[in-house]
């Protein structure tokens, strides 16, 4: 099947695909994605903003009360959208090592 | 690591993030500052466990903070692009006209800053007599030094074969001259800047003379003097009945023939 030239699948970089994979594996906030993907902060956050702009991921702030109860600052959590999941599937075909770099099982052991 | 060094590091890191947040476009600044600050706490806890001494950990945190500058610069770049796109796609005709008017205004203002433009603008009055030529020696910059000698002027004026309908000369005196004139019932002294000119200068240039007439310069043995508006106000209190008044300029008696409105002359020199 021919791909739409404007579809996000064709544009997604390896970094962006890595971030989607990390999110899918359950690493849902900026620093954990940085750690897991091994990417620096100056790369991860702009990439996440781009993914959010393209509606592949969505973000929301944790409720202050939850953070206060645990005596830490609130976190901004990220989540894959339906479109993001579809794009990740396509990216896994394009980057076969993606799942081996960040396996989904790893989240269960952290 | 001592508590004071830890505190210094923490302040340094917050300072980095604050500086980076200032680079972020204003509408997104608070959001980024909040996210970085929150993340800093987690990065700090992950890299430097509580109670542990770790310079390496602090370096990691510093690296995270420096990465914020890259985030901020990316935001600045990407923040500009939607604005341009919006103007290109959604701009109305009115917006386009406003943008063009702004560009034209800025271009005009920039052109005024070019060397020599102001001097050129000040050189001529607003209403320039057609076919008028100002003759200056090459390299003259409008100073008081004469650029055409009197002999040359007389030679041109006396030629039978004429290239010009009329000649007038104008020369600014290099220093001020003491003037003595009646004012408020007594003689008053003042230092005037003076320019000498032929009697046909104002007529030739088509310049206005208030409170008198250029023709009034004729019919008297005394040289005529035309005051600038500023001098007329400062030394004569804007007195309207001074045409024909005798004034002593240095050792010479001259007669006031009128007042030239400010900005009307537009010739080199003050």
pLDDT given at position A78: 93
Q: What is the pLDDT along chain B (270 residues), one digit of tens a residue?
A: 667 777 788 888 888 888 888 888 888 888 888 888 888 888 887 777 666 667 778 888 888 888 888 888 877 877 665 444 443 344 456 667 888 899 999 998 888 888 777 666 655 555 556 677 777 766 666 555 667 777 877 887 777 777 777 778 777 777 788 888 887 677 788 888 888 888 888 887 777 777 775 555 556 678 888 888 888 888 888 888 878 888 888 888 888 888 887 766 666 555
pLDDT tens per residue across span A34-48: 888 888 878 888 888
User: Please, which residues bridge with residue B259 across strands?
Assistant: B210, B227
B207 is written with which tokens? 């310049």
pLDDT given at position B146: 64
Task: Give the whole-angstrom CA distance, residue B187 versus residue B13.
Answer: 77
For residue B1, the Cα-to-chain-centroid distance in whole angstroms is: 59
Q: Which of A6-15, A54-63, B107-116, B181-190 has the highest mean pLDDT?
A: A54-63
Q: Which of B66, B69, B71 to substitute to test the interface with A, most A CBs within 10 Å?
A: B71
- Using a CB-CB cut-off of 8 Å, the residues of chain A touching B63 are 40-41
Of B38, B68, B78, the CB nearest to A41: B68
CB atoms within 10 A of CB B173: 15
CB atoms within 10 A of CB A17: 23
**Chain pair A-B, CB pairs under 8 angstroms:** 54
In this structure, the strands spanning B246-249 and B252-260 are: antiparallel
Torsion-angle region of B224 (φ positive above 0: left; ψ -120 to 50: alpha; else: beta): beta
Q: For the whole model, what pTM was predicted?
A: 0.44
- Using a CB-CB cut-off of 8 Å, the residues of chain B touching A37 are none
- How far does the CA of residue A74 sit from the closest CA of chain B (Å)? 7
Say if the Cβ atoms of B63 and A41 lie within 8 Å: yes
Contact in structure between B57 and B47 (CB atoms under 8 Å): yes
- Using a CB-CB cut-off of 8 Å, the residues of chain A touching B68 are 41-42, 45
- How far does the CA of residue A75 sit from the closest CA of chain B (Å)? 6
Say if the Cβ atoms of A75 and B69 lie within 8 Å: no
Q: DSSP letter at B256?
A: E
A93 pLDDT tier (thresholds 50, 70, 90): confident
B55 at interface of A, judged by CB pairs closer than 8 A: no
- How far does the CA of residue A76 sit from the closest CA of chain B (Å)? 7
Nearest CA in chain B to A53: B78
Residue A59 has pLDDT above 50, yes or no: yes
Long-range pairs for B4-13: beta carbons < 8 A, 24 or more residues apart? B9/B58, B9/B61, B9/B62, B10/B44, B12/B62, B13/B40, B13/B44, B13/B61, B13/B62, B13/B65
Count the alpha carbons within 13 Å of B196 in the hemisphere toward its beta carbon: 13
- Using a CB-CB cut-off of 8 Å, the residues of chain B touching A42 are 66-71, 74
Residues of A with CB under 8 A from a CB of B: 29-31, 34-35, 40-43, 45-46, 49-50, 72-76
Q: In what order do the strands lie in the sheet with B186-192?
A: B186-192, B177-183, B246-249, B252-260, B224-228
pLDDT mean across residues, chain A: 80
CB atoms within 10 A of CB B247: 21
Residue A86 has pLDDT above 80, yes or no: yes
Residue A55 has pLDDT above 50, yes or no: yes
* Cα B268 to Cα B131, B142, B146, B176, B231, distances in angstroms: 19, 5, 11, 16, 18
Task: Give the whole-angstrom CA distance, residue A18 versus residue A88.
Answer: 9
Q: Which of B39, B45, B50, B78 to substitute to test the interface with A, most A CBs within 10 Å?
A: B39
Say if the Cβ atoms of B42 and A31 lie within 8 Å: yes
Say if the Cβ atoms of A42 and B70 lie within 8 Å: yes
- Using a CB-CB cut-off of 8 Å, the residues of chain B touching A36 are none
CB atoms within 10 A of CB B225: 20
- Using a CB-CB cut-off of 8 Å, the residues of chain B touching A29 are 39, 42
Q: Number of helices (H) and strands (E), helices first, in chain A?
A: 8, 2
Of A42, A45, A75, the CB nearest to B38: A75
């Amino acid at each position: 099947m021919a791909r739409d030239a404007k579809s996000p699948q064709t544009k997604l970089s390896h970094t962006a695909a890595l971030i989607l994979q990390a999110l899918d594996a359950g690493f849902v906030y900026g620093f954990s994605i940085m750690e897991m993907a091994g990417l620096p902060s100056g790369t991860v956050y702009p990439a996440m903003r781009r993914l959010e702009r393209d509606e592949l991921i969505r973000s929301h702030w944790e409720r202050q009360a939850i953070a206060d109860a645990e005596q830490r600052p609130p976190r901004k959590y990220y989540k894959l959208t339906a479109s993001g999941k579809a794009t990740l599937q396509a990216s896994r075909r394009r980057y076969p090592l993606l799942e081996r770099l960040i396996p989904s099982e790893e989240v269960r052991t952290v | 690591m001592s508590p004071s060094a830890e505190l210094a590091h923490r302040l340094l890191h917050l300072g980095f993030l604050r500086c980076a947040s200032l680079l972020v476009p204003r509408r997104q600044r608070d959001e980024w500052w909040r996210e970085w600050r929150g993340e800093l706490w987690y990065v700090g806890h992950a890299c430097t466990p509580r109670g542990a001494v770790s310079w390496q950990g602090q370096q990691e945190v510093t690296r995270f903070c420096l990465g914020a500058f890259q985030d901020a610069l990316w935001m600045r770049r990407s923040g500009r692009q939607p604005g341009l796109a919006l103007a290109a796609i959604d701009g109305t005709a009115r917006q386009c006209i406003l943008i063009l008017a702004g560009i034209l205004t800025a271009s005009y203002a920039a052109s005024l800053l070019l060397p020599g433009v102001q001097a050129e603008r000040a050189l001529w009055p607003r209403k320039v007599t057609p076919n008028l030529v100002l003759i200056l020696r090459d390299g003259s910059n409008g100073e008081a030094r004469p650029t055409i000698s009197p002999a040359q002027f007389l030679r041109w004026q006396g030629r039978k074969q004429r290239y010009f309908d009329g000649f007038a000369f104008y020369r600014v005196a290099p220093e001020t001259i003491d003037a003595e004139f009646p004012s408020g019932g007594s003689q008053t002294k003042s230092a005037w800047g003076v320019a000498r000119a032929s009697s046909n200068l104002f007529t030739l240039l088509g310049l206005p003379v208030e409170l008198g007439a250029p023709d009034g310069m004729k019919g008297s043995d005394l040289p005529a003097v035309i005051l600038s508006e500023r001098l007329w106000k400062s030394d004569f209190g804007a007195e309207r009945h001074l045409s024909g008044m005798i004034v002593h300029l240095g050792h010479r008696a001259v007669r006031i023939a009128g007042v030239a409105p400010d900005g009307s002359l537009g010739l080199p020199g003050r």
